[in-house]
Structure 1
């Protein structure tokens, strides 16, 4: 049992996406809609469904074909339709393993979903969400992300896309395939930009304001948001952003992406000059080959030996190609292109308990202060004694498992989040707000007496305000991660109100929540989100000073 390092992260995000598709978080069925509603778009008329005060349009195509001769390229032109097209069923997710309660994955996957209080002329803020799952899994219909409660309770419009993932979305062919394949290493990101352009052109018909769009996302969706924040093609289509438990500070270089492509050709026994053979291989076979390649982190971090960790070849994600993604999203600085766009960034306090749960790891809960060093040395080497000493001093009542979880969680998601916040402040533009989500679930990790706390991905159902009592007055069901305590409903409302207010105004605020000051390098204020929220200055000051001293921030 070892700490989860960034090289393992991408694999785990695929599994996380599958795990969070369980029926505990299922979307409302449209089969018993209160009524149907139609609206116009630039491509034709759509029919959606109205239920419980929300209009939901599912499976709206926003791009054309990306299979056949369009594989690894920009989509074919989306052709308009005549008559009224039903938008009552979710569209196919990108190629991946089967997903619960969703259509079969397909190479042609450019669909989006819209939740709105009404298709009227009211200019509501638009919350454009990128799903998690690293860069290899997930969809815009993933469990926990139902936008109904946000739309109904906070008068916003929610949009979620499917987009290319993995090898089909991020295989770097620019140096082999010619101008038609320019930007091939970022096709999955270009798809999201196309979704944003669709919003710009059409969302007014759904009661949304095309000039007030917030991009946001958790885990892999946070890393996607980090990239969008730095992409010139995305810049005209959003006004603010939120990066949640997925700080995408650095992405793959062209050199590493080219090595990954060469690795794929070797595995397929294809000479690079014969790259066109990739167009004839069934998508399912490419997916199987993707699973055989080594995984690499979707983003990179500092280590204590050199300024940047060299990412190993393998794995698929955005490429710093100098054009689509001109530079690393937040290295060496925050992107100038988004200087004037407010930003939220943060992480969950106990991120790592999710991965212990997912891997059925019970050994961490048996750690003692005698055995803890061995578990951390694999990742931190000679710095391990200093790390443990610092955490024991800063957290005198913490057990050895507590320290293991704290160290693993902050290195996974926290240090990159702080790095982003600091670089945004140094830029001197729009404000950045740093947060920690801290509501504690009492659910135990199976096989242990250790509570989940605030695991990775638990924030999804909270920030979408999907932790609420049933509307029919029946007894609440246990939340998949959030447990049984009714206090979770208050924490969920705080989280959702803070985010929707930020979407509306560019400044997060909520009733019964203290004023949230923008992050600065003097007080370093952090909002801790819980049943009772509080602003904490210089949070984790001892721990962060230590991480800086060994070059991790």
Structure 2
């Protein structure tokens, strides 16, 4: 479908005109030729882009890497052309979250932070994919601004926005060959972003032969999926996933059921793909809260689909994809992931006790074990723990953490190039009830511990841990191994794990009892 006209207006209003216009306004700011004034001539430049100085480094924001019509494969942006301003972020993909930020279907923009735009520098490159599952999120969050990481880590940092939710992952192939790539369009956007890095990053001081992909939560899952996609082969040379894993993708039957539920929510007939293709975009956003027909709850899940072409196998089932085995990789999780989205002050924790613990666990765990039996096992093994401690340990270990264990184990079994595993244990000094929760490793790695949304605090312990995690990640980008000399690679049966806490230490299999308990039942990737 054609792109909407660009108008200058606010991005807060989610009406169709204002929503599209707000995204278009930022896109236009990134695309108009730069003025030839004396002031503009002093601004930092790289290739065809004029940037700004940010956090003591050069920043180039809102660089378009591709264009796409709705439900169509994107096409790369030409490398040649007039000088363009790259001074502000491009719009993020349309979604139900982050409604206070400019959003647009036209969202294929990336950002670069670099110590110097000199092709001779050849610094390692770190490309970040954001979290939010495959449905929400953006790299405009101050926690993921790349200035600190670029300057303190002496690397080039790239952050990427791409198509999400139904716009990036709705499975429409049953409607005909025209939609053969649907179900993985968001992933193919990331492939184009990595291709842009390969072809252009030298002009920003980066080394296209040393590209590391890293991502948190959904961003990590996207990387795991790329490691099984032929189109991504050779585009990155190391990887790190932070609380993000993708063992299996969605099968086409489940993906089709979700598309049909989404269309029904929108009031479209089951075969009305033309209506879906031309519907006002804010209506598509309204449909995202449809009930998921597979998981039995809302909102409807959209994610990568096993289409046998773009994604010809599951990423880590029945083993680690052969394509992924030569890529050195860091895998990490936080100790109490679920404290971030099961609010300890909220209704789900009100009145929690030993009598109702099993029933409440049953609402949250994804591995099919009797929750009452699980609660009894934890209470017996950890007699000093409170119901709340068991609740968060069990919901973390019975929900997403097993996916990371499976990925690490399968890499070890396959003889993959070295894998290093970490666990963030340091509790938040800002909010004692938060513990070490989902997303809490982001500011340590980016060096943004003082940014809005960080729970790390800014004291000596936070600074020391940030330095250690930054050295670990940048070391992998630069040399193919973490920049911590005492971090032993993961192997079976030891399962060496770096524990990032007030002091950093290496432990073998630190949650062995919990790992073995949850391994007694089959792990099923949420959403697959």
Structure 2 counterparts to residues 208-219 of structure 1, below 5 A: 208-219=206-217
Does residue 91 in structure 1 map to residue 90 in structure 2?
yes
Q: Secondary structure at the match of 2:449?
A: coil
Q: Secondary structure at the match of 1:252?
A: coil
Deviation of residue 273 (structure 1)? 4.5
Structure 2: runs of 5 or more not aligned: 1-38
For residue 336 of structure 1, the aligned residue among 322, 330, 333 is 322
Q: Secondary structure at the match of 1:129?
A: strand
**Given the superposition, is the C-alpha separation of residues 266 and 362 from structure 1 closer, same or farther in structure 2, using an over 3 Å criterion?**
closer
Instruction: Work out the CA distance in 2 between the residues paired with 1:296 and 1:117.
Output: 47
Q: Is the 8 A contact 1:376 1:384 kept in 2?
A: yes
Specify the alignment match of 2:259 in structure 1.
261
**Given the superposition, is the C-alpha separation of residues 394 and 500 from structure 1 closer, same or farther in structure 2, using an over 3 Å criterion?**
farther
Q: Is the 8 A contact 2:194 2:235 kept in 1?
A: yes
Specify the alignment match of 2:424 in structure 1.
437
Q: Secondary structure at the match of 1:452?
A: coil
Instruction: Work out the CA distance in 1 between the residues paired with 2:508 and 2:201.
Output: 39
Instruction: Work out the CA distance in 2 between the residues paired with 1:504 and 1:463.
Output: 15
Specify the alignment match of 2:73 in structure 1.
74
For residue 512 of structure 2, the aligned residue among 541, 547, 551 is 541
Specify the alignment match of 1:364 in structure 2.
349
Q: Is the 8 A contact 2:257 2:293 kept in 1?
A: no
Deviation of residue 393 (structure 1)? 4.6
Instruction: Work out the CA distance in 1 between the residues paired with 2:97 and 2:350.
Output: 32
Q: Is the 8 A contact 1:366 1:401 kept in 2?
A: no
Does residue 426 in structure 1 map to residue 413 in structure 2?
yes
Q: Secondary structure at the match of 1:248?
A: coil
Structure 2 counterparts to residues 158-237 of structure 1, below 5 A: 158-178=157-177, 180-237=178-235
Q: Secondary structure at the match of 2:104?
A: coil
Does residue 459 in structure 1 map to residue 441 in structure 2?
yes
Instruction: Work out the CA distance in 2 between the residues paired with 1:373 and 1:429.
Output: 39
Instruction: Work out the CA distance in 1 between the residues paired with 2:482 and 2:97.
Output: 37
**Given the superposition, is the C-alpha separation of residues 393 and 538 from structure 1 closer, same or farther in structure 2, using an over 3 Å criterion?**
farther
Q: Secondary structure at the match of 1:223?
A: helix
Instruction: Work out the CA distance in 1 between the residues paired with 2:161 and 2:271.
Output: 32
Instruction: Work out the CA distance in 1 between the residues paired with 2:146 and 2:516.
Output: 39
Specify the alignment match of 1:400 in structure 2.
387
Specify the alignment match of 1:518 in structure 2.
489
Q: Is the 8 A contact 2:443 2:454 kept in 1?
A: no
Does residue 495 in structure 1 map to residue 496 in structure 2?
no
Q: Secondary structure at the match of 2:214?
A: strand
Q: Is the 8 A contact 2:291 2:299 kept in 1?
A: no
Instruction: Work out the CA distance in 2 between the residues paired with 1:71 and 1:52.
Output: 36
Specify the alignment match of 2:34 in structure 1.
none
Does residue 349 in structure 1 map to residue 335 in structure 2?
yes
Q: Is the 8 A contact 2:49 2:83 kept in 1?
A: yes
**Given the superposition, is the C-alpha separation of residues 518 and 228 from structure 1 closer, same or farther in structure 2, using an over 3 Å criterion?**
same
Specify the alignment match of 2:29 in structure 1.
none
Instruction: Work out the CA distance in 1 between the residues paired with 2:221 and 2:50.
Output: 33
Deviation of residue 266 (structure 1)? 3.3
Specify the alignment match of 2:125 in structure 1.
126
Instruction: Work out the CA distance in 1 between the residues paired with 2:376 and 2:91.
Output: 50
**Given the superposition, is the C-alpha separation of residues 313 and 443 from structure 1 closer, same or farther in structure 2, using an over 3 Å criterion?**
closer
For residue 58 of structure 2, the aligned residue among 40, 55, 75 is 55
Listed one character per residue, the Cα deviations across residues 67-122 of structure 1 (whole Å, up to 9, x for unaligned) are: xxx210112453566431000011011112473774x1001111000011111111
Deviation of residue 484 (structure 1)? 5.8
RMSD: 2.7
Instruction: Work out the CA distance in 1 between the residues paired with 2:334 and 2:238.
Output: 21
Specify the alignment match of 2:250 in structure 1.
252
Instruction: Work out the CA distance in 2 between the residues paired with 1:356 and 1:384.
Output: 17
Listed one character per residue, the Cα deviations across residues 19-62 of structure 1 (whole Å, up to 9, x for unaligned) are: xxxxxxxxxxxxx999621111xxxx110112443110000000
For residue 36 of structure 1, the aligned residue among 32, 39, 43 is 43
Deviation of residue 370 (structure 1)? 3.5
Q: Is the 8 A contact 1:257 1:313 kept in 2?
A: no
Q: TM-score, normalised by structure 1?
A: 0.81
Q: Is the 8 A contact 2:261 2:290 kept in 1?
A: no
Q: Is the 8 A contact 1:437 1:528 kept in 2?
A: yes
Q: Secondary structure at the match of 1:441?
A: coil
How many residue pairs are counted as aligned between the two chains?
Answer: 483
Instruction: Work out the CA distance in 2 between the residues paired with 1:83 and 1:545.
Output: 59
For residue 279 of structure 2, the aligned residue among 278, 281, 284 is 281
Q: Secondary structure at the match of 1:344?
A: strand
Deviation of residue 132 (structure 1)? 0.7
Deviation of residue 215 (structure 1)? 0.9
Listed one character per residue, the Cα deviations across residues 129-154 of structure 1 (whole Å, up to 9, x for unaligned) are: 10011111111222300111110001
